[in-house]
Amino acid sequence: MRKMLLSAAMLGGLLVPAAALAADLPGAWVVDQEAFRRSLNQAMARYLATVPKEQLEQMQANGLDPAEAFAEEDLDGDRFRVEFLEGGVLRVAPVATDEDEADEDGAEETAAEREGRWRLDGNIVHVDMPESDDVRTMEGLVAGDRIELKPVVDPADPDAARAADFVVPLVREP
């Protein structure tokens, strides 16, 4: 569920030629951490609202408050750099932080870099994520130095439908 949520915006254009709406996309983008966490918390609250009351009570009886545990968890979904390269190549690479753990040899362990594809229709970017992601397709509006990606999900799939409103906000890397 978390992987599905970590991946994401469909907005329509006006009756204006696509060339007039074309966004300036190529370059490096990073996750807006505050907006990402807010979106993730809202998605988790919606998910927890679907969990049967008895199951939540059992978790709490076992000393686990799911909402609190999730809020305190250190997720790394906001620590990625996304590069929209010429030719439609998408590169997703982890951003190392001071908190990243080092292995026994002192080398930091980070997730591997992955590649996917992107295409732009006016101000709407369509992204095909790397093979390892649960959510493979995302769409979003490019508005200046901001992109809000949303997963493209099958509304008939209850697990996927929970992620439909989840947003991965990207800002152009300074």
Q: Which domains does the chain have, with CATH numbers?
A: 2-68+78-95+107-172 (2.40.128)
Mean pLDDT of 153-162: 75
* Spatial distance between the Cα atoms of 73 and 129, rounded to a whole number of angstroms: 25
| Nearest one of 172, 163, 111 to 7, comparing CA atoms | 163
Phi, psi dihedral angles at 2 (to 5 degrees): -65, -40
- More reliable by pLDDT, 47 or 162: 47
141 DSSP β-pair partners: 124, 148
pLDDT one-digit tens code per residue, 18-73 = 444 456 789 999 999 889 888 888 878 887 888 888 988 888 888 887 767 666 66
pLDDT one-digit tens code per residue, 118-152 = 999 999 999 998 665 566 789 999 999 999 999 88
Q: Say if residue 17's pLDDT is above 70.
A: no
* Spatial distance between the Cα atoms of 42 and 46, rounded to a whole number of angstroms: 6
Model pTM? 0.69
Residue 11: band (very low, low, confident or very high) from pLDDT cuts 50, 70, 90? very low
Give the pLDDT confidence score for residue 21 in this predicted structure.
43
Phi, psi dihedral angles at 155 (to 5 degrees): -65, -15
